[in-house]
Structure 1
Amino acid sequence: MLSAEGGLFASAFVSATLAPGGSELLLGYLVQSTPDTWLSLVIIATIGNTLGSLTSYLLGRLGRRAKSPEELIEGKHQWLIPKVQRYGVWSLLLAWLPLIGDAIPLLAGWFRFGMLSSSLLIFIGKFFRYLVIALTTLGIISQF
């Protein structure tokens, strides 16, 4: 049987890949159920989500041999390619965004951004997203 923390980790990991997921709702539920563990839940979700994004990063790195960046992110997100090129590794701070966030690490891998800096910036962006969700759930910050 998977623990609540293990389920959160798995949900966060899958949510960061190209598969759909709902780790934010699960985090909110768990924070509300066990408010004294909110920080550890934020860290678990952040690590899982970061590792999921790094999976996309590695797929982009491997895909470089077979596909162009345009082929990697077919469709309506083509506009993202020059933005990631322009802002470089810093664009990974936005890897938490819905819809386009999965494509940014994929492109970062294709463009061969440094693994350490990519990991750190992905982690920071995702940590702050989950932190806001937890603090909003706890009523420490109000919803907009």
Structure 2
Amino acid sequence: MQEDSLALLFGSAFISSTIAPGGSEAVLAYMVAAGKQSLAVLVVVATIGNTLGAITTWGLGVFAAKKYPAEKVLSERKQKSIVVLRKWGGWALLFSWLPVIGDGLCFAGGWLRMSIVTSIAAILVGKAARYALIAYASTALV
């Protein structure tokens, strides 16, 4: 039964980090409140699922860039935003955990072909910090 709940958390976290909406934070908070798994296990499972979802979105960006190069499809104003992302590189993906814009950052990271190693590191750190904070806050509510 515990493996099923971890798979649910993983799946929720994965889906939440793709273009589809999800509620992995609520799933994590519920599981923390249930107290059947250690916080560390829950945070690791959620982080891995969410990171893999973000990498999938990053890969979709790589795929899109082959057909739609940024320089050809973006207005001049939006190209200025791209300059900012290129300046920060993959480290901009530290903010991939943010609602609404996080998925767009991951997609843009792939579209701009930012370093996959730096991108994964930044995504992992940002998402782990967010899930650790959610888990900690959830213990305070129990």
- Sort the TM-score into its range (normalised by shorter chain): 0.7 to 0.9
Q: Which protein has the bigger helix share?
A: 2
Q: Which has the larger radius of gyration?
A: 2
Conserved? CA contact 2:31–2:37, under 8 Å: no
Name the structure 2 match of 1:121: 122
Conserved? CA contact 1:70–1:81, under 8 Å: no
For 2:62, give the aligned amino acid.
R
Evaluate the alpha carbon distance shift between residue 43 and residue 85 of structure 1 in structure 2; reply closer, same or farther with a 3 A threshold: same
Conserved? CA contact 1:9–1:48, under 8 Å: yes
Evaluate the alpha carbon distance shift between residue 62 and residue 131 of structure 1 in structure 2; reply closer, same or farther with a 3 A threshold: same
Residue ranges of structure 1 left out of the alignment (5+ in a row): none
Name the structure 1 match of 2:5: 4
Name the structure 2 match of 1:95: 96
Evaluate the alpha carbon distance shift between residue 39 and residue 21 of structure 1 in structure 2; reply closer, same or farther with a 3 A threshold: same
SS in 2 for 1:18: coil
Residues 75-100 of structure 1 deviation map (CA, whole Å, 9 limit, x = unaligned): xx887534322311110100000000
The percent identity for this pair of structures is 39
1-structure distance, mates of 2:99, 2:71:
20
Evaluate the alpha carbon distance shift between residue 108 and residue 72 of structure 1 in structure 2; reply closer, same or farther with a 3 A threshold: farther
Name the structure 1 match of 2:15: 14
2-structure distance, mates of 1:55, 1:98:
17
Residue ranges of structure 2 left out of the alignment (5+ in a row): none
Q: How many matched pairs?
A: 138
Residues 46-66 of structure 1 deviation map (CA, whole Å, 9 limit, x = unaligned): 000000000011111111111
Q: RMSD of aligned C-alpha atoms?
A: 2.6
TM-score by length of 1: 0.85
Name the structure 2 match of 1:43: 44
